Structure 1
Amino acid sequence: MLTKSARILLVEDDEDDYIIARDYLEELNEYNFEIDWVSTPDAALEQLESNQHDICLLDYQLGAQTGLTVLEKATVMQCRVPIIMLTGQSDNVLDKAALDAGAVDFIVKSELDSPRFARAIRYAIARQEVQQERLERINVETQSRSKDRFLAHLSHELRTPLTSILGYTELLLSSEKAKPVTNELNIILNNGKHLLSLLNDVLDLSKIAAKKLELALSTFNLNSFLVDIYTLMQVSANDKGIELTLTSSTPLPEEIHCDPTRLRQILINLIHNGIKFTDHGKVSVSVKAKIEGEICVLYFYVEDTGKGIPVLEIDKIFQPFEQIEDTISRKETGSGLGLAISSELAKKLGGGITAKSIEGEGSCFTLSISCQNVKDTALSNLSLERKVIGENNTSLKPLTGRVLVVDDVADIRMLIGHIVGTFGLNVDFAENGKQAVKKAVTSIEKGTPYNAILMDIHMPEMDGKEAVVEIRKQGVEQPILALTAANMKGVKENLQTLGFDDVISKPVDKMLLHRYLATVINSNVQTKPKENDLSSIIQTTNQDKYFMLVEDDMDAAEITKLLLESMGVIVDVAHSGRACRQLLHTRPKWHKILLDVHLPDENGLVLAKYIASQGNTTEIVIISGAEIGAAEIKSSGSSRALMKPLNKQKLQDLIA
């Protein structure tokens, strides 16, 4: 039998009793115990405070004091070690007092040689193992949330200056005055785009690892899609003096339903690698379609005549941060993430990537994807002539109207304003959320509302989230588009729930921005709330309702608070059990307390019992990421439980 190791704290002021207890513990063969012996209450509390033991055996009588004093103090300092009380004789009153004080069990010393003692030890250790696993799981979840917040912050901090670098460089390149330094500006532009691609690689890999990467499926023309990629990559091939070909071995569907952005990302990465590692010869791209009922499986073969990959190294190329050549000596640049990301994206698209290579002769990468075959779509041979002419700067239709651009960074604000101005729109500016609210409301009062508002999310004084909630509360119904560098899963949905009409990623794409503005400016927008608008009714009804939100996750707390405030509820936030207890008595009555079950310093169900006992709340609602039994909810004094993530509909139902 495999023995388990366990560390026991034995609190006993009688050395003979200590020796007896130690001997009986050593007879439990399935455990290998490390025993720490202390004889005073102070020494016991000092040991318990470190939470380093798997179990504590605590004598009831410790000189002039009792073990109950130790138990009570250990509970106050949030000791996580299971404590078993040892008593000289059976006493029902004493036993109940020990359990009420926090002991997990009680044992009469005369029972140390009985099966009951062994069961009590096993139970206490098993309980500690479960508690430890729970703490580790919470720690992992906390680290994951911290990582997401860090990545969102990193994305924002890096994309903001990149927006200026790329945007102003493109503006200069379109200027007649910049012709003498066109080459230098192109170098800046290309390196800026390279830096952006490296940032995107890191963020993509993180989103994949966190299972937060979402596909944006759409129907598009496959032939034109492939020709655009071929035309783009032909420039790189010509620069190296190698041939690039694109062919198909079967007729291809004219339209497919897939994520064009991610498919383009994979193909460009594979073709780019082929060109990068080929000094002489050619790179051949071949496409084959296989129709299986309503599913179309596409195979893309990217074959080069480059240096090839050593047999022992070929399995490593799809691993993150792996590059075949040494970082110091290699000539090619890159993060070593491209193939790892492409492989994961291919899996998301219902396929995968395989590689074959002969060192010194070349390599062949095969990409397969599975996509819904568009109903009744025709099959046709690949043509290198575009069937659909894409938009270009000269084809942009002029727009008329007024747009408010809100961004705290002056360079970005002026850049976006300049771009919007080239569309024919009049532009006004605001430096933060407070200015935006004032200008949006004033424009309505003067009868000259903005046709659209472009709003950055991260700003001082009042950020974009708070501003859009306040603007909507003031009855402004004009389209508001969020400008954000955070493109993790769920961000768009959260922003739309707050009141944004749509989201535009930074750095801003000029063509995409024109398409957004053309769509929203041409739509009919009401400037006053509808009389039967549910949000307006709720806001009016709930102006004097006070909610407390107890949530340790800062982002979750912020979004939930903003949602509730958008419905007219007054919300105070506590990020821990201790903060909740301090906040509880600042109001004579709370209408509802929304209580996260996993708090850093206290179990939410235990905290709910304390809140219920104070009698100053109408309803306690437990928030959890997992199912909680009805019996647990009832015993805690709560009325119900809400599953995360919380959205506007859930909160409206809760208020109603």
Structure 2
Amino acid sequence: MTALSSSSAHPIVPQGSTLDLLKHVLDVLPNPVYVKDRSHIWVEANKAFCDLLGRPRDALLGKSDYDFNPPEQADIFWAMDDEVFRTHGKNINQEETVNAQGETLWVQSQKSYFCAEDGSEYLVGVLTDLTDMKAHEAELAEAEQDALAAARAKSEFLANMSHEIRTPMNGVLGMTQILRGTELSEMQSELVETLGRSGNALLSLIDDILDFSKIEAGQLQLSPEPFELRSMVDDVAVLLGTVARDKGLDLLVKFAPGLPDIVIGDAGRLRQIMMNLIGNAVKFTDAGYVCVEVDGQINADILQLSASVCDTGIGIAADKLLTIFEKFQQADGSTTRLYGGTGLGLAISRDLALLMDGTLTATSVPGEGARFTLNVALPIVDGAAACALETPVDPSLERLKILAVDDIPLNLDIIKSQLEQLGLSADVVASAKDAVEHLVAAEKAGDPYTLLITDYQMPNLDGLKLAQSLRKYPRFASLAIIVMSSVNDATVKAGFKSVGVEDYLVKPIVMTDFNRMLSRLSSG
């Protein structure tokens, strides 16, 4: 058997047939394709290219861009083609052109260089029609502008309505305040108090809506000015202390030592964030405490502030930690019915933090509480010292031997920290029973304690019973006793006064109050 030659096994397509085949391949390609010679004249074009321009092949071949485009547009095409011929490379551009019907077309053009065996130079262009995509982008841009305009109109409406509602609401609250000062029956007093609380709640809601509308409209402007950091935090804690006490909660403030006294920032907006965080913590905590922790690092005259609010409340499920910062969202729809609120507070606080180039984050363990942390950079005022005390402590107090008792370990940490900032130290115990044992042991050792700092509400033996027990023994008659309690009740205060305590401070215990208390003790 004779073997087949390679030429008979793979017959070569005749030259004329090859050209017809290549032309057929070009015509079935979905992308428009054309070929230009060195004179920028079209020498080939496939069916897709002719369909795109709306011109027959015979009308295109032998012509240039100047035959179908305005001169200024043809100049651009000519320059891009020249770049390909000059560099023997390729380029990719988006181009605007016009078809035979006068319709504007957008295409992505990929042009490449080709040199034939006889030295003839050609440019091969492959197009992708972007006209529909460009039209869609224009529609989207127009829809975006319409949405932004609608959002601005809505925000302006909300802002105007908020202002309009606030004016009569202030009148209602003003008249309520005047009415409260008149002679009223017990029932009338209760009605006036309810009216005042409802009015203030409505006013708070109006403020949230107003801030929300300003943020959405991009109209909220920060007003950075020098302010006292500790005073701002203490003011907020004292303001919300009443709300915490009404729920039987301890509101604690833990301020790290060494932080600068005066920084630059928008104190009003920082106060608003802290008010929202502390208010939320109190709202969602039924037992235990809410703690405000202020710390930070100083880098090149900038305080990297880290202010946290943690609580022992209901906590937040892991899958809800991100959505709680969205507008009109709460961790659970049932919380709105149970606790009230609009769901705007955290969203506004987060947006305010972002305006300050800061962050607001949350962590939580459901059933154990939550922690919200604000991180923001605040410039330090030149020459600002660490947060100063209002009244110097008497040097004689350095000889005090102090014992502190509280059933909440965090409270004891705060007391120790406050004393250390005054150059003092203390031993701490977690129950009244342990306090008695320490007092007796120290007295027997001939080195008695001279100051007892005690909480009021403690399990088994509370602070009042502890004080009453100690005062029964002459050896503890000279022991100074200071009470720190979340209970602000005249009867309780009178009970402690009757056993001869030196002072009764209501939580949250801010540093200035703590210092004044020790100063009064030294003067006494």
TM-score, scaled relative to structure 1: 0.40
TM-score normalised by the chain length of structure 2: 0.49
Relative contact order: is structure 1 or structure 2 higher (C-alpha 8 Å, sep ≥ 6)?
A: 2
